[in-house]
Structures are given as structure tokens and as C-alpha cells.
Amino acid sequence: MIFCPLYSGSSGNSIFIASDNAKILIDAGLSGKSIENALLKIGHKPNDIDAILVTHEHSDHIKGVGVLSRKYDIPIYANTLTWKAMSKCIGKIKEHNIKIIYNNYINIKDMDIVSYSISHDAADPYGYAINCKNKKACVATDLGFISDDIKDILKDSDLILLESNHDVEMLKFGPYPYDLKRRILSKVGHLSNDDCGNIIPHILNGKFKRIILGHLSKINNYPELAYETVTSSLRECGVKLNTDVRISMARRDQPSNYISF
């Protein structure tokens, strides 16, 4: 598979994943033009996209969904409650492109995709695990916490986009209003750098993993701080960087981590 975050951050999110026969986006949270440009930048055409999978209805995940679907006749996959919550925001979608996820399973050509519930303040938010030819990639962002069930899903993954949204002290003493700070820190908010670093040792099982840290806050985090916090925590636990796991950073403003695995 090929895995590439086109954009990842509080300003907008979209991830490109490809196999031999299928090309999908998980979320399209920027303008359609921005996502078109990002795809062309990594050598892929927007009209080759087979599906857009939506994690939840927040604007930084759906802003370009309707535009891309209408322009390129792309099916949109989401669960019933997410469709209900986002339908008024994405505009009219052709009936044949409205795909409801049932039983947490989707097949798109040679991709088998499992959706799983996550803890976030949205109607019915999902993460996704993409399986193809004994390889597995997971998208695990917008989580207030990671349950044991989600840890089990992540354990046998080859590649994970994992949230490292904020530094707790920056958030607490930053400019956000109190209610927003409380929401971000809650069980339906976002994972902090510390949360991320503490979780990774629990999903390592002897299988080498590539973990991309993503969905960083523009106000309450820095890429260098997130990386250092997470990798320091791993070293303290005896995790060997680049032997047990490789850590990299997703960029908010352009494609990054174009990985073939």
C-alpha cells in the first residue's frame, strides 16, 4: 500500500491511501482545490479516487467532501448518524454516491476496511483500519482516549497515523476559552503529546511499526515539541527508535510521509 497524509492538523485533514487497484481518501477537510493540488503534487489524479471515507462531521474533516464527490463522481462512505449530521454541510450528493457503512465493514476493490468507534464529541465518530495483502494501516485521530479495543486494532498494524494534538501546558495557559480547553482535555476531546507517548508502548508487539504523529494543534503545539515529548517517553520505556518503531511527523500544510509498504 501507499499511505500519505495530504494535510493533518487542526486546520484540515485528508489522508490518501492506495493499493494496487484502489485509491481512497479518508476525510477531505480542506477546499476541493487544495486537495486536488495535494494529490497532483504526489503524482495522483483526483478523478482516480474510488471513495472518500468520513471519520466524523466536523468541518476540518468534511469541508471538501461534497465538492470532490460532485466534480469527480466519488462515492462517500459514512455511518448513518454521521451522514445525518453532515448532510446539510456538504451539499447535494448524487444518490448512488451516498454509501452507508453497515456492520463496520467496507470493501473497495482489493481493500478490506474495518471502521471502529472512537471517543470524540461528534455524532458517531469512526477510525479506520485498511487491510490489503497482509498489510494494515490505521487512522487514529480525534480521540479523547484510546480504549483497549482500539489498542488491539492498532497492535497488528504496520503503519498508524496517531494523534498528538496538544501540549497540555500550552493548552492550559493558552488563549482558548475555558470551555474549549475543557472539551479538548476531556474523554471526547483530543490526545495530548503525553497521551500519545504513553499509548505507543502498549501497541508494540514485536512487529516493526511506522507511526506518524498527526492532527497537531496550530495554537497549542509544535512539531518539534510533539516529536521530542513522544520519543523521550518511548526511550524511558526502553523502546528502541528505528528498531521497534519509527516516528515521523505529518505536516498540516502539505503532503508528507509518502510511504510505500
What count of residues does the chain have?
261
Amino acid at 172: K
Residues forming a β-bridge with 26: 15, 53
Q: Measuring CA to CA, how many Å separate 224 from each of 105, 158, 167, 216, 231?
A: 36, 24, 11, 11, 11
pLDDT, position 158: 98
Q: pLDDT digits over 96-155, tens only? A: 999 999 999 999 999 999 999 999 999 999 999 999 999 999 999 999 999 999 999 999
pLDDT, position 74: 98
Distance, CA of 201 to CA of 103 (rounded, Å)? 30
Average pLDDT score over residue span 33-45: 98
Average pLDDT score over residue span 20-28: 98
Quickly tell me which residue has 499511505 as its cell: 3
Mean pLDDT over the full length of the chain: 97
pLDDT, position 117: 97
Nearest 5°: the CA angle 237, 242, 247 is 80
Quickly tell me which residue has 471513495 as its cell: 51
Average pLDDT score over residue span 188-203: 98
pLDDT, position 212: 98
Q: Are 36 and 47 in contact (CB under 8 A)?
A: no
Q: In what order do the strands lie in the sheet with 76-78?
A: 98-100, 76-78, 51-53, 23-26, 14-18, 2-7, 259-260
Number of domains in the chain: 1
Q: pLDDT digits over 226-251, tens only? A: 999 999 999 999 999 999 999 999 99
Average pLDDT score over residue span 64-92: 98
Distance, CA of 88 to CA of 168 (rounded, Å)? 34
DSSP code of residue 201: H
Which run of H or of E encompasses 66? helix 65-72
pLDDT, position 237: 96
Structural domain range at position 202: 2-260
pLDDT, position 166: 98
DSSP code of residue 97: G
Distance, CA of 167 to CA of 194 (rounded, Å)? 8
Average pLDDT score over residue span 221-230: 98
Average pLDDT score over residue span 181-202: 98
Average pLDDT score over residue span 81-92: 98
CATH of residue 111:
3.60.15.10
Strand-pair category, 76-78 with 98-100: parallel
